[in-house]
Structure 1
């Protein structure tokens, strides 16, 4: 359920309308190609996670494959990304609740939501899992109901509502009304919607049977993406004209309006709020575990290794939350300057993470085959050819962002932040933290937690 929650985000419920409006019915192809890339990356991550389940996940694998500089860089970039996401989601959640209860200011609601979920994460990993389970369940039920209603309309099962047939798919300028190039632009936008699927691999390190949990989650990511993203987008472009003015508001609200369901907008707001809370909950968990993993490797203050009686790295949770609070303050005091800079600087981190996962996988898999260490329970398909194709595709997406005006600042600022992080590693890296010392500390911590 955590992995399902990671895939279904507010981007599907709200952002899909913008993609369809910019691409046309061909948005199905954009989501299919970007979804395929994510499936391939998750397969690689799953293979590594089964061999070595670790809360540091891809940061740990980057350390094993390319060295401590790679682990340091991608770990801090990932932490920075989710800290920004916490601020964004808290502000979005505050705006929704403020719409229902105008007397409470947005900043106050944002603070309350973040504090509540921080306490959830501090109490125990079980409480995080319980909350995320129910958040994910609400999202799954909502998207399933939307899809069932959409299919019923398409096949004319609902009296009084005429089926659009294929008119919206081939009418209004055809399947690709703005040309094939927009499909590629759509891929660049869509791939960011899937970011979060990797959380399952991070959480696997704290499950009773991590190997089994990872195998199940990674194998199921294929049908989840096919069903929830590609399936729902296919239904939407069949039901609604791609150039409809109200599509940008929310395609799901528009579909509910077709059924004359009262308070369609408020129903959708509740679903989006659930997605926001789910994202907040997962972001706080993921952020703290990545920070904890960085501290284990000597790439963050050792004080962050302190855990409570339930094994939760409390200081790492609080440190991540504090930075997110600072970012949230900027979203209110300087939304067009400081906060905009932070958001843009985190824009392309998702692709860098995917790229590091793919490169780490190739190095570790070849190393393992050379040493003939063990039989893999989960294997990447058509290795190494498909892995190399995935890397080339992601590099192509990163390069294409330079030529897309709306994304140019994101790729430039992300690369700037990445260069600064790499520079900080070589400037402040303490060589006294040897691999042996780190291994000893990790063993002691695990023994203490047990």
Structure 2
């Protein structure tokens, strides 16, 4: 029987846009409103801090992936440098991360479609899931094309916002809330209007805003020229963070005083409506719809590739490691889609709490994945110094910066425990780890 392998069909433009799409999502378009409400203008510092931390994680990921051409994802080097248990737990935890995220995004699609059509939200949610599944079953190149155009929509929207904002700043445009000015950053209670607690409690949502940036690593096995494309995509992350996150939010806070923004609405919608763009709400609703669909698309892609990799490493069912004639892990795609659809129905049953709970759990699990990447890099540098010496893409400031970022992640988990809003999610998450460790032990016994 023919033993098929994943095809390297993702070109440089696909990888670049997957990296951008992975760092612009529902967390920015919707979650930033809640984060601003907590932190005020100091949210800009939170995005810079988490953005820098994620960049160092990605540099560690990049060096590890390129140190061994046999590595197809971070589960491979986690098994090598931390232990087989770490590869197993991290692989299935990453799958769980994206399942939770995809649940929320598919439900969000249903809600966004209801803006135009008065139909039950589960109908467009399931329809979107079926469409994405069908497209993902074809070729990985098609996935790359989908993400390319999804990301382009996000980029155009943010750049349009920044350009309009700069023009308004230059001319001193007057709105219902006052003059568009940099002074709005500190004129309404200062940079830290809610004190240090508001600043700290915003970290969880900002972490969720960055989930998906590591998709560059997941797509490594299907990248045509990983030694060129992966470093290029990773090195551009800081510029993208400054432009798409810090730049966009800086403009928003200059146009609208933070006190006028609401956690219930996207700050992007409010700003476009404020400057008088016709059909602004409808335009941004379309953008956040495509953003949610993009995240759901990324979720199906990443979960299927993780299941495929786990199967090939004998850490999952053998059937998950089979590819269809288009070199796509079809069985893994079907299973992930079924789980996402069940979760979407569950989220629909408890709409008030489901989104907050699943996104918080997702953020916690992503912190685990990012931490394992940093720990793997520490051990790689310690036990394989020759590989590190020959590396053409060395992670900077290691291992010191790895420990600094790990300490930051530990502090964020402590903050989530202190916060009443996220405490329940933090206390629920260990159930997943107990379950996955239990299955690992059972498999080892067999």
Measure the CA separation in 2 of the matches of 1:251 and 1:41.
29
- Of 149, 163, 167 in structure 1, the residue corresponding to residue 164 of structure 2 is 149
Report deviation, 1:344.
5.4
Q: What is the RMSD computed on CA atoms of the aligned residues? A: 2.2
Matched, 1:185 2:201: yes
Structure 1: stretches of 5+ with no match in the other structure: 432-450
Matched, 1:407 2:400: no
- Of 147, 167, 170 in structure 2, the residue corresponding to residue 132 of structure 1 is 147
Matched, 1:385 2:404: no
- Of 4, 27, 36 in structure 2, the residue corresponding to residue 11 of structure 1 is 27
Aligned partners of 1:284 and 1:317 also within 8 Å: yes
Aligned partners of 1:347 and 1:411 also within 8 Å: no
Aligned partners of 2:30 and 2:267 also within 8 Å: yes
- Deviations 1:190-231 (CA, angstroms, capped at 9, x unpaired): 122111000011112111111111111111111111111111
Secondary structure in structure 1 of the residue aligned to 2:305: helix
Structure 2: stretches of 5+ with no match in the other structure: 1-16
Secondary structure in structure 2 of the residue aligned to 1:397: helix
Corresponding residue number in structure 1 for 2:241? 225
Alignment of 1:79-228 (within 5 A): 79-102=95-118, 104-156=119-171, 163-228=179-244
Measure the CA separation in 2 of the matches of 1:197 and 1:293.
19
Sort the Cα spacing of 1:336 and 1:187 in 2 relative to 1 into closer, same or farther, 3 A.
Answer: closer
Report deviation, 1:407.
1.0
> What's the TM-score, normalizing by structure 2?
0.91
Corresponding residue number in structure 2 for 1:48? 64
Corresponding residue number in structure 2 for 1:420? 435
Report deviation, 1:279.
0.6
Report deviation, 1:302.
0.5
> What's the TM-score, normalizing by structure 1?
0.90
Aligned partners of 2:73 and 2:220 also within 8 Å: no
Measure the CA separation in 2 of the matches of 1:384 and 1:139.
35
Measure the CA separation in 1 of the matches of 2:253 and 2:359.
30
Measure the CA separation in 1 of the matches of 2:363 and 2:224.
34
- Deviations 1:339-394 (CA, angstroms, capped at 9, x unpaired): 8876654441111111111111111122220x457611211111111111111111
Sort the Cα spacing of 1:38 and 1:343 in 2 relative to 1 into closer, same or farther, 3 A.
Answer: closer
Sort the Cα spacing of 1:376 and 1:240 in 2 relative to 1 into closer, same or farther, 3 A.
Answer: same
Count, aligned residues: 429
Sort the Cα spacing of 1:56 and 1:430 in 2 relative to 1 into closer, same or farther, 3 A.
Answer: farther
Secondary structure in structure 1 of the residue aligned to 2:195: coil
Sort the Cα spacing of 1:381 and 1:101 in 2 relative to 1 into closer, same or farther, 3 A.
Answer: same
Measure the CA separation in 2 of the matches of 1:264 and 1:164.
19
Sort the Cα spacing of 1:204 and 1:324 in 2 relative to 1 into closer, same or farther, 3 A.
Answer: same
More moved, 55-64 vs 388-397: 55-64
Matched, 1:280 2:296: yes
Aligned partners of 1:62 and 1:360 also within 8 Å: yes
- Of 348, 373, 378 in structure 2, the residue corresponding to residue 362 of structure 1 is 378
- Deviations 1:7-32 (CA, angstroms, capped at 9, x unpaired): 00022112112111111111111111
